[in-house]
Structures are given as structure tokens and as C-alpha cells.
A and B are shown apart, each in its own frame.
Chain A
Amino acid sequence: MIEVHDLDIRGSLDVQILGGVSVNLETGQTVAAVGGSGAGKTTLGLALLGFVRPGMRRVGGAVRFDGQDMFGLTDAELRRLRRESIAYLPQNPASTLTPTMRIEDLVEERRLAHSKPTEHLLELVHLPCDRTFRRRYPHQLSIGQQQRVAMARAIANEPRLLILDEPTSSIDPTTQRLMLALVERLRDEHGAATLLISHDLASVARMADEVVVLRHGEIVERGAALRVLHSPVDSYSKALVSASPDIAVDQPPLLEDTDEPVPVLKVRGLSAEFNLGRGRGRRTIRAARDVSFVLSAGETLALIGRSGSGKSTIARALVGLHPPEAGDVLLDGVSVPSLLRRRNRSKRAAIQLVPQNPEESFNPRRTVGDGILRSIRQTRGLSGSAATERLAQLLDQVQLDPALARRRPHELSGGEQQRAAIARALAAEPKVLICDEITTALDTIVQGQVVDLLQQIQRDTRISLLFITHDLALAHEFAHRVGVLSEGKLVEIASMAEFVRDPQSAESRELLGAAPSLSRTLVARQHAAAGVPAEAAS
């Protein structure tokens, strides 16, 4: 049905984005494109819509839909094809909703003559369909509801081709299951073909019939999904599969301290609120409720929770960027003022944050080296050659090429930016390093490298890590203990091994159930193929 033939897309300076890519999608088939960031996956997805992003151009090859070359169509023909036969869900589905339009108008405009009524479409994605709800605007919905509206929009035309770009990265487990069911329904009822773009190999294993592995815009391996994910041949595919965090794979025991744990950071009864909106329309959200935990020297504590569970607010409160309503923070048994401006230099230096988005945290007009130097000067009081020397040490410690430190933040890759941000935090020689979702924007291979780096730094310096993430499988690889947050409350805190073996709260079980496991999914599919009932398989 869809035939991508020898597609060649170049970016500025003639950089290859896609080179000689050929993929076929048959009716009812799901093909997954996997690979790290910059592999050209999204460009491939957009090419199936006959779209090349501004700044890129197609230099060769074709995309044929029912034999018609999509790049040879007139604007009107292309629009018609997109409108009637294709659905595209980009990485952040909620961002596709126009904020000035009502829910019903957003769904309505995608309907065709034969489509189901808007009410029915909303029901299909498990949303209320009463008039009050339909007349709301996107911002009045939760993020999960917004994602469902985007899904209702996508399926409104009963598409024959579905393009899903990283569908699981921003979606909570319940919505993921719903999306999966919708994709299956479209496939079974309308024979829809699906292109799944993902770096989450577990979800690929669950959905895909075929996998193509992309690297730097070229296909390095292709084949049946189970074969590629189970026994990859290409070295890059192997690296991808082995870097994929897997909750079901037992981790080698972490180096356990023989000594008694030495508490470094004590958090007692921390409660924090923040205001949503401004002026008289604001709402108060209780982001942390009576949170208490202890972090020991050389220990990694993972704080896990879905979006909106209060993770980032806790991080900000600990570094003094968010005044808490109650509770106190003790460092080596001494109370730390809750506001940053009341903390003296040594207390500021002792607790450092690596933020979620490193690029935004560096001054875009200065080099990243300048940013790190600034931290060296301000937290350690070094200047001149002493500071430059320290910078070199830090860059060496985070394994960042000194030449890269002379570049500005946007000229670095996501992984390099994150290393620079870690170096900047380490410049203060902190006792506690708070990492707020620092791996979210990275692909699995780079994620693994950053985590390895953190582990190595911890071995060398016995620094304490508070690793905030929604990715339980990744935390499972290296955190000693785990705390589960739900609606601002710390519902469970336990050693990682114990937690995985015997979760205590409903939230924990839900998170564990949803954590990706490539190995488990592969086994389930092999059993399914062999006709073994799912219950027996699990």
C-alpha cells in the first residue's frame, strides 16, 4: 500500500538526514522504525505524509501511496490524501490541539461524511461526550484527556495509514493501553497500516510485525520484529537492544556498602504548593505532602512518579528554588534554610541540581565552558588559572571533549549538553546531586552512557544521588533505593530489589506493571505465536 523507495533527504549544508531508505507497508501491517535521536525516524514519518520539514529537502527517491507518488501530487490532491486516508500523531499529541478551539470543533473538523459522530469518537477514547465537555477548550482538560482528544482527532477519518511518532514517551500507562487498542481496532476493521516510531523497544515488540533499525539516516538492519529484537545482527542494533532498560532483567547486585550508612540529607515533613494560573483565577496545587526520606553517602535514591506527582517541585524545594509550606531539610544534621538566598555559599554548593532541560539552563550566548567556569567561581571562589585547571578536570570527569566546551549550548548534542550540565553541578563539589528527569530527552544508548557516568562519579566521590524520573526500568538499573510518589505523597520507599519483588502500594504495582520489559514482551509474543494462552505465558 505504501512504498518508500530509495528516499534521500538532506538538511542544511547537504547533511544527510535520510539516505537510500526503502520501506514497504502492507495493509494491516505494523512496521516500527527504531534508532537513536538524529537517526531520521521523524523525518521518515513525515515523508509518509508527503511532507519535508522546512530547512530540509528531498534529493531523491519516492513515497508512493497506492502507487501514486506523494511528492508528485498537487497541493489539493495531497491535502485530500492526508485528510481522507492518513492520521499522524506526533511525539507530544497534546501539542496538536489548537488552544483557541473547542473540543467538539477540533474533532468535528477531522470527520468525513462516513465518520462516526463526534460523541461516538469521544466515547471511543473514553472521554465524556456531554455538551459541557465538548464545549471546553484544551487547557481545561488534563494532559491525559488532551492526548485522548488528539487520538479522537487522529481516528476520526478512519485512516488507512497511521503514523505514530514516539507514542509512549509522554503517555501514561492507561492511555498507552487505550492507544494500543485503537490501533488494533483500526487494523482489524479497516486494514490500517501503521508506522510506529519509537525508541521504546518493549512497545515495539508488542505492536510491530516488522522492524527497521535506522542509524544516521540509513537502515542498518531490518526484519521480522521478533527476530530483530531477539537476535539482532548489526552491531548498532545489538547496542540498542542491550541498552533498552528492562524491568524483568535482574540487575547485578550493586556495590553494597559494608559500613553503616552515613545519612547526608534528611528531609522531614516537606510540604509544598504551587499556584496554577495568575491573578484571581489561580488554583493551588499541593505538589508535595509531608514527604520524608533520608539519603546516605554514596547512595542513589530514585524518586518515581508519573507527571504531576510532585517530583519536580520536591527537587526545586530541596535546592531552595521553591519555598515549601512546611518541613525541613537537614544536611549532615544541620538545618538548611529553605530559601536559596538565605543559604550561605557552602550550603548552596552542597546541594546541586541537574535540570531536566540542559540546553535551556545554559546561557545561549555564552559557551558551555563559560557556564561551568561561572559555577566554579561562584561556588568555590576560584579564578584565573586555578579555575581553568578545575574546568579541565571536570570536563575529564564527565568525559566531555574540551573542544566541545568552547561551543555554545545549542551546538552540542543532547547527551553532551547533559554531561556539561553535570560538570557544572559537580563544579560546586556537592554532597548531594539532584537529577531531575535528566534522561528523558535522550535516546536509550545515550541514556545508558549518562547513567554509567553518574555511577562512576558516585564510586569515585561517594556523592549522594537523588534521581528523579518516570522511567522505572532505567532507575532499576542503578538506584539502590526507590521512593514512589503519588499525588505529592511518598507512598512507598524501599530498596530496589525488594520493591521489584514485592511492591506494597497500588501505585507501585501499576508502575511496575507498566514498566517496559523487552524480554517479557518477546516471550509473551512467542507464546502467543505458538498458541499458548496468555495466562500460561505470564
Chain B
Amino acid sequence: MTAGLHNAARYTIWRMASLVATLLAVSAILFAAVEWLPGDPAQQILGIHATPERLDILREQLNLNDSVPERYARWLWSTLQGDLGESVRTNQPVGAIISRPALNTAMLAVTAFAAITTVALLLAAFGGRRDGSRTSTVISVTTLSAVSVPEFIIAGILISVVGLELGWLPAVSLVPSDGTPFSRPEILVLPVVSLSIVGGAYGARLIRAAVADAARRPHVQAARLAGLTESRVLIRHLLPSAIPTTVQVLAFMVPFLVGGAVVVERIFAFPGLGSQLVDRVALRDAPVIEAIGLIQAAAVIIGFQVADAVGFFASPERRTAE
């Protein structure tokens, strides 16, 4: 017991430290990447007809003449203090620009994550517990087809059939200016369904493999031959072995939903973080790009850290190691 607690405490502290270290590394890479975007920001802002004098003044204002490490240090310091800076295009504070899209994306992502988890787990449990059965084959084929169709086609079909033809749900997901997506939940349905078909099928396939792997282990056969009920075999003997893989797969859904949802956001005209990022990259608006990148990276890293932690606590062998 004490060994277990001790391990858990040590594990948590270690994880926290590595989380901070990873975020720092990501922030440096992100800053460098934006720095290396082709073209001169001042030129882009002022257009090709700008005079050299005006360009020099703007470069001075943007601190572009300082060295990269210097500017990184300054940016990091103010970011740590909660100041994300101002847009170089509109001079609005970055926080104000990204807070609404971030909230919108968070609501879409949380809803879609819940849907994906449900779909993936159910399909995986039924498809994996008896490998080679008819259910298993049907699930395998269906999920493979779902994975192979690009999101924009699925979304397009949903829009034209459910949105336009039948008119059951809005075809575009515009968020009211005085509300959140949750104040008009119907706008979330089609984006969430599109994301869950692709993400859920992808997750189901990977988790199904882990479940099928666990189902082949001798202790699962032994549990069945001991006459235990199928639900007990599933819940106590089979699924726990699949937890570490399952949470890793689900963690992969975080980058898919936070960054990769841009296609779906665009199709449904959903004002999320992904769309915002694409717009700002086109504008070469470095402070906004860096802020969005950092938020996405943080979400992804936290997702994987949580998955690692769940995997750790779900495995007695690791938790109780002396």
C-alpha cells in the first residue's frame, strides 16, 4: 500500500515537471517556426508599395531588429504573466481575439470527444471480445469504410441531406454573437456527427485491436471456462487489460479535435480556433498564431499526460512496482 502511494506521489510530481518542460520546448519550437515563416512581416502588413522608411519604423515598433532569442525571452516572459500581446494587424489584445473561438472550439471538442468515446468504446467492446465473429467482421468493415471517407465528404453529405434536403438541422453552424454554441445546441449536431463518424471509427478500430488482443489472453479463456457470466468476463477480466491502449487512442483524439477539426469548422462556418488560426497564418499575425499554437499544444500535451496517468493507475504492475 505505502509503496503504491509513494509511487503515485512520485509519479504525479514527475509528470507535472515533464508537462512544464514539454510546454517550454513546444513554445520555443513554435516561436521559431513562426519566425521562419517566409516573408517579411512588416512588408506584408504595409503592402508592396511601402517606403523603406515606413518599413524601418514598423520593424522598430515590432522589435523585429532584436535578436530571435531576445524576442523569444520577452514573449515568453509576458506570456507567463498572462499577457499574450496584441495583434500586429488590428492592434486588438490577442486574448480578446481568441477567447470566443477558443470557447466555441472547447464546446465543440468536449461534445465530440464524449460522442467519439461512446461510439469507439461500444464498437470496440462488441467487435473485439470475440474476434472473428460476425459482429466483429461487420464492425471492422463499417469502421474501415468510415475511416477511409474524408471528413469533408461526410460533412457535405450531412449538410445536403439533413440540413438542406430534409431541413431538420441548420446547414451552417453560426454562433449567435451574444451566446455560445450551447445556447443553440442544434448547430453542434452536424459538426459533432461528422467528427464522431471519422474519429469514432478510427478510435474503434484501434481500441478493437487492443480488446481483441486482450480477449486472446489465456486468463480471459480461463474466466470463460470457469463459468463466469459474459458481463463479468468483459468487465473484470478482459477490458481492464485494454485500458492503457484505450486511453492512448482517446488522447489522439485531442489533436484531432483541437487542431484537426479545422476542415469541419470551415465547412459548417463554425467560428472556432482552427478557422481563426488559418486566417491568422494567412495574415502572418505572429502573436495570435503563437497564442493559438500554445493553447492547442497545451491541450494536446495535457491529453497525453492524462492518458499516461490513467494507464499508470490502471496497471497494477506499474503502480505497485517497488
Q: Which residues of A contact B (CB under 8 A)?
A: 46, 49, 51, 54, 75, 78-84, 86, 88, 90, 92, 95-101, 105, 109-110, 132, 135, 137, 139-140, 153, 277, 279-283
> Are A98 and B225 interface neighbours, CB within 8 A?
no
From A92, A100, A282, contact of B240 by CB (8 A): A100
Size class of the B contact interface (CB-based, 8 Å):
20 to 34
B232 at the interface (CB under 8 A from A): yes
B208 at the interface (CB under 8 A from A): no
Which residues on B sit within 8 Å (CB–CB) of A49? 225
B165 at the interface (CB under 8 A from A): no
> Are A100 and B229 interface neighbours, CB within 8 A?
no
Complex Cα distance, B3 from A135, in Å, reads: 13
Shortest Cβ distance from A12 into chain B, in angstroms?
12
Shortest Cβ distance from B204 into chain A, in angstroms?
22
> Are A137 and B132 interface neighbours, CB within 8 A?
no
Can you name the residue of chain A whose Cβ is closest to the Cβ of B322?
A281
Which residues on B sit within 8 Å (CB–CB) of A109? 226, 228, 232, 236
From A83, A96, A277, contact of B321 by CB (8 A): A277
B52 at the interface (CB under 8 A from A): no
Which residues on A sit within 8 Å (CB–CB) of B241? 98-100
Which residues on B sit within 8 Å (CB–CB) of A137? 316-317, 320
B179 at the interface (CB under 8 A from A): no
Shortest Cβ distance from A405 into chain B, in angstroms?
30
Which residues on A sit within 8 Å (CB–CB) of B227? 78-84, 86
> Are B320 and A95 interface neighbours, CB within 8 A?
no
- Enumerate 27 A-B pairs (CB-CB under 8 Å) in ascending A order: A49-B225, A51-B224, A54-B131, A79-B227, A79-B228, A82-B225, A82-B227, A83-B228, A86-B227, A88-B222, A88-B226, A90-B222, A92-B218, A95-B219, A98-B237, A98-B241, A99-B241, A100-B315, A101-B236, A101-B237, A105-B236, A109-B232, A109-B236, A135-B1, A139-B317, A282-B321, A283-B322
Shortest Cβ distance from A461 into chain B, in angstroms?
41
Taken residue by residue from 188 to 231, chain B's Cβ proximity to chain A (1 for < 8 Å, 0 otherwise) reads as 00000000000000000000000000000111101111111110
**Main secondary structure on B side of the interface with A:** helix
Shortest Cβ distance from B227 into chain A, in angstroms?
3
Q: Which residues of B contact A (CB under 8 A)?
A: 1, 7, 10, 131-132, 217-220, 222-230, 232, 236-237, 240-241, 314-318, 320-322
> Are B226 and A99 interface neighbours, CB within 8 A?
no
Which residues on B sit within 8 Å (CB–CB) of A99? 219, 241, 316-317
Complex Cα distance, B2 from A472, in Å, reads: 43
Q: In the complex where A96-B219, A281-B7 touch, is A140 in contact with B320 (Cβ < 8 A)? A: yes
> Are A139 and B225 interface neighbours, CB within 8 A?
no
Complex Cα distance, B236 from A109, in Å, reads: 10
Which residues on B sit within 8 Å (CB–CB) of A51? 224-225
Which residues on A sit within 8 Å (CB–CB) of B318? 281
Can you name the residue of chain B whose Cβ is closest to the Cβ of A83?
B227
Complex Cα distance, B318 from A110, in Å, reads: 27
> Are A96 and B236 interface neighbours, CB within 8 A?
no
> Are A88 and B225 interface neighbours, CB within 8 A?
yes
Which residues on B sit within 8 Å (CB–CB) of A153? 226
Complex Cα distance, B224 from A86, in Å, reads: 12
Can you name the residue of chain A whose Cβ is closest to the Cβ of B217?
A95
Complex Cα distance, B240 from A105, in Å, reads: 14
> Are B225 and A95 interface neighbours, CB within 8 A?
no
Which residues on B sit within 8 Å (CB–CB) of A81? 227
Complex Cα distance, B309 from A410, in Å, reads: 38
Complex Cα distance, B27 from A119, in Å, reads: 56
Complex Cα distance, B229 from A75, in Å, reads: 10
Shortest Cβ distance from A294 into chain B, in angstroms?
39
Which residues on A sit within 8 Å (CB–CB) of B237? 98, 101
> Are B316 and A83 interface neighbours, CB within 8 A?
no
7 tightest CB-CB pairs across the interface, nearest first? A281-B321, A83-B227, A82-B227, A96-B222, A100-B240, A137-B316, A95-B218
